[in-house]
Amino acid sequence: MKQQVDDLVDAGYHIRYIVGDSIIDALVSQKNYLSVKQIRDISQNNINLCSGDVYFLVSDRGYYYIQLLIEDGKTLPSYFVCYDMFGNSIEDEDFILRVSSKIELLKELKYYKHGEKTKYSESEVDNSYLGVMHGEGWFDYQFPANPDRFIGRTSLINAFNDSVNDVKNGITSTKVIEILSRSGVGKSSISLKLQRLYKEKGFSTAIVDSRNIRSDIDILQIFQMLVKDFNFHCNLNCEVPKEKEQINIISKSIDEFNTENGKMSLIFLDQFESVFARPSVYNTLIDIILEFNVKFKSFIFVIARKNDQPTTYDESSLIDLNRLKSISKPIVLQDFKTEEAIELISHINDEIGTSLIKPLKEQVLEISNGFPWLLKKYCAHIIKLVRSGEKQKNIVQSGMQLEDLFNEDILALDEAIREFFYRLIAYLPSTYAELSEIFTDEDLSIKLKILQNDYRLIRLTGRTYDTYNDILKEFVKTGHVNLSRRYLIRYTPNTVLNLYKIIVSKNLCNVDQIVENSRVKKTSIINILGELKKLKFIEGSNNNFSLNPYAYQYYTENNIVKYLANILMDNTLIKKILLELEKNKKLTLKQVKNILISEMPFIDATDKIWEQYSKVMCKWLSAATMVNMDKNNTISTNNLGREIGDFLSDEIFFPTTMLAQIIKVVELLADNKEGMTIQELKKSMKRSSLNGHLIDACFLGLVRPISRSEYEITQNGLEFLGKEPNEKRAYIREKLLGLEYVCQYLEQIKTTNKEPLEVFTNILDEMKVDKWNEVSIKWKHKLLRNWLIYSKLVVGKTHKKQVD
């Protein structure tokens, strides 16, 4: 926009470009409107409340001022009043209702009516707490770990301390630290621990759950929390800011004190990915962080967020993640180490009066797979069973899987609450006010409290309700637990599949029935059923299981080999073996054994047992025709079946980048026909990563790799750039229509009344593509639509810019 205005000015047009407060100043001088100061004076003279921030409102009815009002003894607004530009208060209730419902800032404030002031009544939840809540006991999995119950993570803590010291000593100007990890690894717990450590050092801190940051008021409260903590630690009495304009003034005083006394102030923003869905909040926070970086020396912002969800956005996106990446230092939080997990498990002795038996301990470590909350959840389940009289040996034999743990949570709900929970899950995280607009249930608050207090399936942080973990949310929506799995298979394919054949042919559904209909010992049956559950052939408990319809379909089609290939690739142990095989072309049994020992260090077994495990794992790979296995138990790449490379990448292509960006890469390579390295391409494109761009361009046949790190344009690519727009569209269209799922998608959006996203999600379910969460699916669908609109296979919105 500014460039367009500048162009008009250069052409001789009498146009001026103004932003921010300059707009109001211009209106005041040219239209005789009142200024912000005059509006604040009117409020102070006529209303017995303190004046807070004033906002300029542009509506279809004209221009207005919104004045926030603060009660005596409070620091946050409770009321607001609306004035026209001449200082007349607006009493039109319909207009006020519309304004307050549309503007996040005003949703939980009450409108001030002259002469009718009543005491402010709190809403269903406490609005004042933005912080991060923690659990109490060692195995309280619904909340982040109590800093007093925190284990390990020493390497991250050391890296964090070094980063803070570098800022403190003036070695670096990077005053933003990002703590990154996949979902469920413990970002909130480490944030709480770090905050505690720096509070103990006498540093002022504030920690906030970013799901609660929805407006400027919440951003103001972050700094109020910090100032109060600063006053407490430093025994001072800095004024707590009541409006945004005061933040910089007060922060300057804090910065001067910190600099003189060798102190720092740390602001922790946990769950930061939640503000990506609120662009105005995200951009305001980044603006403030950038301003603080320039103005102050002693403020550090610590941002904890997921890095396992889409983080690249197209040009039309309302947020730019690169703004954050460019000013921050990332520290990656790794999965829970085995020794850390074992230390946590040792505390189960305090709960049940004894240690876990070896097989159960190994089972817990295998299932939890580096996720501390999952480890706590499984341990809490064991504690509950043992306290009710269950033997540890029986718990091992039950073969409990991840889905069973979550099903247990859901089945514990009575029918009415369960039905409500299924409806609720789609709208979390949300405030009570937001849920009140969606649900007509008269007993909404009661149901929420039951789920929160009686079943602890949701938690309330500040004013925001959410599930205790995103994995539970995805399980309720999809029926699947979208976590990587790492497990040993201890029984051979023949043994496991023969029992499966017996179960299918005789329609058996529990252990006792199998005992009656086979010659297999009961103990072995129980163990083999555990393997069948791992491989998702059956679902349920040993006393009442059912066939997985997906596996059964492959079995009835005599295509069990393909099923095995698909299901084994969900096992990270299998992936590790195949990756090593791809490098070396052959692996001996000893090499496979070393991989297993390295990946499963918590399993205590003799060398002979490890050798047996290795042989069994290789037999499963051979049974799935993923490798060749000779008489010496050496495995090699299976050239007759599908290439290992196919298993290590998506079997079916899905677009990963907007077409406009792909074409830019092709154009760059056209200008450099001798080829370019990935680093050169990234620098030219001003991107931190181009993996998706290059994958997509290779799929389209427009570029090709000439080494591991260098690409060149193809003849197809050169011809593509020379084509007319309609010819380009036809080229992309042909590639898309070669994908079966695209043809299904196009047919279904024409013949059904379903929304396109729903059609896409259903197709993914049918294809058994369950590696993406809800956010990822939406992003993948958006990318597919971009390609389809470009190809004129679907009609896009008219305001979208077409790519030529």
Q: In what order do the strands lie in the sheet with 627-629?
A: 586-587, 635-637, 627-629
Residue-by-residue DSSP string for 764-786: HHHTT--S--HHHHHHHHHHHHH
End-to-end CA distance of the chain: 22
Task: Average the pLDDT over 648-672 and give the result.
Answer: 82
pLDDT confidence bin for 648, thresholds 50/70/90: very low
pLDDT at residue 46 tops 90: no
Distance CA 266, CA 258 (A): 11
- pLDDT greater at residue 513 or residue 474: 513
Task: Report the pLDDT value the prediction gives residue 571, as an integer from 0 to 100.
Answer: 86
Task: Report the pLDDT value the prediction gives residue 266, as an integer from 0 to 100.
Answer: 97
Domain ranges of the chain: 33-111, 147-332, 336-400, 413-481, 484-649, 659-790
- Other C-beta atoms lying within 10 Å of the C-beta of residue 759: 20
The CB-side HSE value for 69 (13 A sphere, CA atoms) comes to 25
Task: Report the pLDDT value the prediction gives residue 506, as an integer from 0 to 100.
Answer: 94
**Burial (CB count <10 Å: 0-12, 13-18, 19+), residue 599:** middle
Task: Report the pLDDT value the prediction gives residue 124, as an integer from 0 to 100.
Answer: 36
Q: What is the pLDDT of residues 206-263, one digit of tens each?
A: 999 998 888 888 899 899 999 999 998 888 888 899 888 899 999 999 999 999 999 9
Residue 56 to residues 50, 242, 666, 671, Cα–Cα distance (Å):
19, 18, 46, 49
Count of all residues that appear for the chain in the document = 804
Nearest to 55 by CA among 286, 223, 284: 284
Tokens of 182: 């996949």
Task: Average the pLDDT over 450-464 and give the result.
Answer: 82
Buried b (16+ CB within 10 A) or exposed e, 21-50: eeebeebbeeeebbbbeebbebbeeebebb
Distance CA 669, CA 676 (A): 7
Q: What is the pLDDT of residues 686-725, one digit of tens each?
A: 887 787 888 889 889 898 877 556 788 888 899 899 998 8
Task: Report the pLDDT value the prediction gives residue 166, as an integer from 0 to 100.
Answer: 94
Task: Average the pLDDT over 157-170 and give the result.
Answer: 94
Residue 586's beta-bridge partner residues? 636
pLDDT at residue 614 tops 60: yes
Task: Report the pLDDT value the prediction gives residue 4, as an integer from 0 to 100.
Answer: 66
pLDDT at residue 676 tops 70: yes
Instruction: Compute CA 742 distance to the chain's CA centroid, rounded to the nearest angstrom.
Output: 27
pLDDT confidence bin for 306, thresholds 50/70/90: confident
Class of domain 33-111: alpha beta
pLDDT at residue 651 tops 70: no
| Share in percent of the chain as helix, strand, coil (round to 5) | 55, 10, 35
Distance CA 551, CA 549 (A): 6
- Give the least confident one: 103-117, 157-171, 345-359, 441-455: 103-117
Task: Average the pLDDT over 339-364 and give the result.
Answer: 90
pLDDT confidence bin for 491, thresholds 50/70/90: very high
| Percent over 70 (pLDDT), the chain | 90
pLDDT at residue 484 tops 80: no
pLDDT confidence bin for 48, thresholds 50/70/90: confident
What residue type is assigned to position 6 of the chain? D
Task: Average the pLDDT over 173-200 and give the result.
Answer: 92
Task: Report the pLDDT value the prediction gives residue 127, as an integer from 0 to 100.
Answer: 43
User: Would you say 238 and 253 are in contact if contact means Cβ atoms under 8 Å apart?
Assistant: yes
Q: What is the pLDDT of residues 550-581, one digit of tens each?
A: 889 888 888 888 888 888 887 888 988 988 88
Tokens of 2: 């500014």
User: Which one is the CATH code of 484-649: 3.30.1490.70, 3.40.50.300, 3.40.50.720, 3.90.241.10?
Assistant: 3.90.241.10
pLDDT confidence bin for 641, thresholds 50/70/90: very low
pLDDT confidence bin for 502, thresholds 50/70/90: very high
Nearest to 187 by CA among 205, 210, 167: 210
pLDDT at residue 33 tops 60: yes
| Percent over 90 (pLDDT), the chain | 33
Q: What is the pLDDT of residues 90-137, one digit of tens each?
A: 888 889 888 888 887 788 788 887 654 434 333 333 444 678 888 888
Task: Report the pLDDT value the prediction gives residue 123, as an integer from 0 to 100.
Answer: 39
Sign of CA dihedral 411, 415, 419, 425: negative
Residue 743 to residues 116, 727, 750, Cα–Cα distance (Å):
63, 20, 11
Task: Report the pLDDT value the prediction gives residue 316, as an integer from 0 to 100.
Answer: 36
pLDDT at residue 155 tops 80: yes
Distance CA 187, CA 181 (A): 7
Q: What is the pLDDT of residues 769-794, one digit of tens each?
A: 666 778 888 888 999 999 999 998 98
Phi, psi torsion values for 209, nearest 5 degrees: -85, 110
**Burial (CB count <10 Å: 0-12, 13-18, 19+), residue 722:** exposed
Architecture of domain 659-790 in CATH?
Orthogonal Bundle (1.10)
CB-based contacts of 686, cutoff 8 Å, min separation 6: none
Task: Report the pLDDT value the prediction gives residue 695, as an integer from 0 to 100.
Answer: 84
Q: What is the CATH number of domain 147-332?
A: 3.40.50.300
Look at residue 129 and give its three-state secondary structure. Answer: coil
Task: Report the pLDDT value the prediction gives residue 2, as an integer from 0 to 100.
Answer: 57
Distance CA 760, CA 784 (A): 10
The CB-side HSE value for 175 (13 A sphere, CA atoms) comes to 24
Task: Average the pLDDT over 3-11 and give the result.
Answer: 66
Nearest to 244 by CA among 226, 220, 262: 220
Distance CA 562, CA 365 (A): 29
Task: Average the pLDDT over 491-514 and give the result.
Answer: 94
Task: Report the pLDDT value the prediction gives residue 222, as an integer from 0 to 100.
Answer: 93
Task: Report the pLDDT value the prediction gives residue 309, as an integer from 0 to 100.
Answer: 52
Task: Average the pLDDT over 664-680 and give the result.
Answer: 87
Instruction: Using the structure block, give the residue that is written with the tokens 């505390």.
Output: 347
Distance CA 319, CA 313 (A): 8
| pTM, 2 dp | 0.63
Task: Report the pLDDT value the prediction gives residue 117, as an integer from 0 to 100.
Answer: 44
